[in-house]
Structure 1
Amino acid sequence: MIPRRLILAGAVALGAAATFVAFQPSPVAAREAVVYKNPQCGCCKGWATYLQRNGYKVTVIDVDNMEDLKRRLQVPDSLHSCHTAKIDGYVVEGHVPVEAIDKLLTKRPSFTGIASPGMPSGSPGMDGPKEDNVVKAFGPGGIRVFGIY
Structure 2
Amino acid sequence: MLPTACGGPPKVEARRDRTCGCCGGWVEHLRAEGFEVDDKVVDAVGPHRQALGTPSDLISCHAGKVGRYALEGHVPAAAIRRLLKEKPEGVAGLSVPEMPVGVPGMEMPGSPPSTYDVVAFGRNGAGGRGCASAAWKSCERALHRPRLQHAASRRVATPRLAGRAGHGL
May I ask how many residue pairs the two structures share in their alignment?
126
Distance of aligned partners of 1:91 and 1:27 in 2 relative to their CA distance in 1, 3 Å threshold: farther
Give per-residue Cα distances to partners, 1:32-87, cap 9 Å, x unaligned: 11100001211101100000000001110111111222122110111001011111
Give me the TM-score of the superposition, normalised by structure 2.
0.68
**Mapping of residues 29-108 of structure 1, within 5 Å:** 29=8, 31-108=10-87
CA deviation after TM superposition for structure 1 residue 29, in Å:
5.0
Q: CA RMSD in A?
A: 1.9
Distance in 2 (alpha carbons) for counterparts of 1:120 and 1:36: 19
Runs of 4 or more off by more than 4 Å in structure 1?
Answer: 27-30
Alignment correspondent of 2:164: none
Give me the TM-score of the superposition, normalised by structure 1.
0.77
**More helix by percentage:** 1
Give per-residue Cα distances to partners, 1:124-143, cap 9 Å, x unaligned: 00023211120101114512
* Percentage of matched positions with identical amino acids: 34
For the pair shown, which has the larger CA radius of gyration, 1 or 2? 1
Provide structure 2 residue ranges, at least 5 long, that are not aligned to the other structure: 132-139, 145-158, 160-169
Is 1:118 the counterpart of 2:118? The answer is no
Alignment correspondent of 2:121: 138
Provide structure 1 residue ranges, at least 5 long, that are not aligned to the other structure: 1-23
